[in-house]
Amino acid sequence: MKVNVLAFAQAREALGSGRIELELPEGSLVSDALAAIERRAGAIAPLRPHLAIALDATLAKTDEPLRDGCELALLPPVSGG
């Protein structure tokens, strides 16, 4: 199945792109996608504990199942004042 990944701010820099497509086996979970992203771009590993993950525009947990064509967004913390 194909999963579209969007990355923002520091996650985009670590990934080297704001958008990538992953090919994952049927039955994969959010955690499987995150592992595949880390294999592709190891620089994202230090950010992972701080990232919020959205699955089709809704915050997701790592044990949620993915489906073909879904969108996974990597959202770093926002700072400012």
The length of the chain, given as a count of residues: 81
CA-to-CA distance for 72 and 30, rounded, in angstroms?
8
Q: What is the pLDDT of residue 75?
A: 96
pLDDT band of residue 77 (cuts 50, 70, 90) is: confident
Structural domains in the chain, CATH included, are 2-75 (3.10.20.30)
Residue with tokens 């959010």: 30
Residue 76: other Cβ atoms inside 10 A: 17
pLDDT tens per residue across span 3-62: 999 999 999 999 999 999 999 999 999 999 999 999 999 999 999 999 999 999 999 999
Q: What is the mean pLDDT of residues 63-68?
A: 98
Reduced to 3 states, what is the DSSP secondary structure of residue 33?
Answer: helix
